[in-house]
Amino acid sequence: MSFSVHRRSTSASNMHVLTFLRQTEPETQEISRAAEVFQTTLQVLKNRARQRYKREVTTSELSECLIPLQSITCPQDDDDKYRTITGLCNNRQNPLWGAANTPFVRWLPAEYEDEEREPKGWNPGRLYNGFQLPLVRQVSQEILRSCSKPSDDAFSQMLVEWGQYINHDITFTAQSPGTAMRMSGVDCLNTCENVHPCFPIKCGEQDCLPFTRSAPACFVNCTSDVRQALQRQQMNIITSFIDASLVYGSTPKQQASLRDLSSDEGKLAVNERLKDPKGRDYLPFVASLPSPCRQDPNDVDGERVECFAAGDTRVNEGLPLTVLHTLFFREHNRIAGELKRINCHWSSETVYQEARKIIGALHQIITMRDYMPKILDQESFDHYIGPYEGYDETVDPSASNVFATAAFRFGHPTISPILMRLDEKFQEHKCFPHLRLHQTLFSQWRIVKEGGIEPILRGMIGVAARTVSPDMLVTEEVAQKLVVLNIPREMDLGSLNLQRGRDHGLPGYNDWRVFCGLSPIKTLDHLKSIVKDTSVAEKILKIYKHLDNIDVWFGGIIESFNPNSRIGPLFSCLMGKQMKALRDGDRFWWEAENVFTQQQKAELSKTSLSRIICDNTDIKEVHPDAFRFEKYPSGYLCCDDIPSINLEAWREEKH
């Protein structure tokens, strides 16, 4: 069946539902358009110059795409008390490090088939180590697909959901803008040909899944030659720092749109139409109405629940993600209200910035203290991250391409096909039964009309996380029924991840093992020892033909876990290296000198995700560590017994 036939069988309304997801800010769209024009123009100029001069031509000041570093003025002293919303000037010597709308860093050089921008698999006849690369759909269908996974009795489902949530604080890759399609004259939803920016996922001779390449990044080093300028890099459109940018945004315009500027309390704007059953606030609706989020099919009165607005436009992707966004949005307003009570002389701006600073610190503490030691084993944590020794201005905190595109996608195999909703006794909710994953996507009405965030939140902390075995890697719910972007058919997460890695020119699995000081996999027996499953190892070699051809994301997820870890040796290295850079290269890290007082640090150390749940929901009993799983009521404490931060440490006498 051809792709066009598939498309005709899909409803137009279903397509419209998803056009909204992952919208990018105007600043990002402008940079993406400039980068596309920049690359296309340089390709033309390069070809003409080569023909005329019979050599490569060097240049500088090539286009508006270039960012003039000398035009960036970083604030000093008293004006530098808080982070910029864009991440600029965190490092005063290198103001673009970690900032929004800048390229992902490369820890290994990109590998493109033309050395510039054509991804692996672009040219069908191209051989790698004597063999063609397997189709990513084949790898996904023959190895990654599964129907179920065992549970992990040590950790709760919250460990999985936090991984996605905090990932959205660190990385966000933009798709190529419509400009690129107009320039090439193709529509990526309607072609099975590799025509830039379309790189469709082949499903056979005549069928494919649509795939649009990631947007190129603007070239920021104006001293290099055309060859370096032409090589395609991808852009992180949010700040790389763990700074709660998914709560506040990464551009001034986005930040302003999320604030309640009508009062002097420094709070975030709330939903003016809806409250939860206990009168608590929901996130505001998006400005452009009606939004494309799904609606209750049984709603007779036609009362719409629109998409929610937050600092990250992916907030509506799934209900657990929306729940965590709601939790920290409420926590900001709770803290802001308390800070204003304690310091009534503070301006709205001071209250907002101090609350934002605290919320950023909470994200850092929960991630580095409570989350990462459960993902890495202690030995790997100590080796790759180690104790904090202060801010290091020589460390680039920018997110790396391999981290964003492969390593931090380690949790995709642990996605649960069922969203559990539990009652006050952590039993299946009688009114709101469990849901299949595909029923929860862009369905914010289920929060508003089906009991608020509490039933879902209890399911996140009161249900064991799913784990991974090599013969059961990706659930059917994301292998066949994933709803993505504006694509008018259900997609396959495994195929998307593999294709994205090739799109970004990531070197192969063995190259990254060598980068991390691990021995490359050279024999089937070695692969069997890594995978710990003979039949799966044999199937991998049969499909890839050569072990050097294994894609890095796939190689990382098939490795057997390190003891007391959720990942294997390769991803332990890549995750650890990135997390250390995000911590050590952040001038505003919560433990850094002069960011908080010693008394404030002592109070912040008392924080926990469990306490935040207690303070912002109707849940009365929690496990003291929300990432740990114990069957209720074993190990659960009354919220009154969970330590809390005393904000009196932020009291400031009026001058």
Which 8-state DSSP code applies to residue 153?
A: E
Pair of tokens at residue 370: 């409570």
**Active-site option among 168, 196, 429, 504:** 168
φ, ψ dihedrals at 502, nearest 5°: -70, -40
Parallel/antiparallel/unpaired status of strands 637-638 and 435-436: unpaired
| C-alpha triplet 387, 388, 394: angle, nearest 5° | 125
Helices (H), 443-522: 445-449, 454-461, 476-479, 493-503, 509-515
**Continuous segment of H or E residues that includes residue 435:** strand 435-436
Instruction: State how far the alpha carbon of 341 is from the alpha carbons of 265, 279, 305, in Å.
Output: 9, 21, 33
Which 8-state DSSP code applies to residue 431?
A: S
Instruction: State how far the alpha carbon of 274 is from the alpha carbons of 68, 308, 309, in Å.
Output: 45, 11, 14
Instruction: State how far the alpha carbon of 300 is from the alpha carbons of 138, 277, 293, 295, 444, in Å.
Output: 44, 20, 17, 11, 17
- CA pseudo-torsion sign 616, 618, 624, 626: negative
**Distance of alpha carbon 318 from alpha carbon 326, whole angstroms:** 12
Parallel/antiparallel/unpaired status of strands 474-475 and 145-146: parallel
φ, ψ dihedrals at 459, nearest 5°: -65, -30
Q: Can you state the angle between helices 609-616 and 319-342, rounded to 10 degrees?
A: 80
Shortest CA distance to 90 belongs to which of 396, 364, 348? Answer: 396
Active site residue 345: no
> Environment class of residue 512 by beta-carbon count within 10 Å: exposed (0-12), middle (13-18) or buried (19+)?
buried
Helices (H), 235-318: 245-248, 252-258
Give SS3 for 637.
strand
Instruction: State how far the alpha carbon of 432 is from the alpha carbons of 449, 451, 464, 573, in Å.
Output: 10, 8, 19, 41
Residue 299 neighbours by CB distance under 10 Å: 12
Shortest CA distance to 246 belongs to which of 373, 91, 363, 96? Answer: 363
Shortest CA distance to 197 belongs to which of 183, 218, 217? Answer: 183
**What single-letter amino acid sits at 476?**
E
**Distance of alpha carbon 183 from alpha carbon 198, whole angstroms:** 12
- Provide the b/e sequence for 184-206 (b: ≥16 CB within 10 Å): bebebbebbebebbbbbbbbeee
Contact 462, 422 (CB under 8 A): yes
The string of DSSP letters for 9-34 reads TS-HHHHHHTTTTT---HHHHHHHHH
**Distance of alpha carbon 343 from alpha carbon 182, whole angstroms:** 54
Pair of tokens at residue 469: 């075995």
3-state secondary structure labels for all residues of 379-404: HHHHHHCCCCCCCCCCCCCCCEHHHH
Give SS3 for 469.
strand
Residue 623, annotated ligand binder?
Answer: no
Question: Residues annotated as binding site?
Answer: 412
Question: Residues annotated as binding site for heme b?
Answer: 412
Catalytic residues: 168
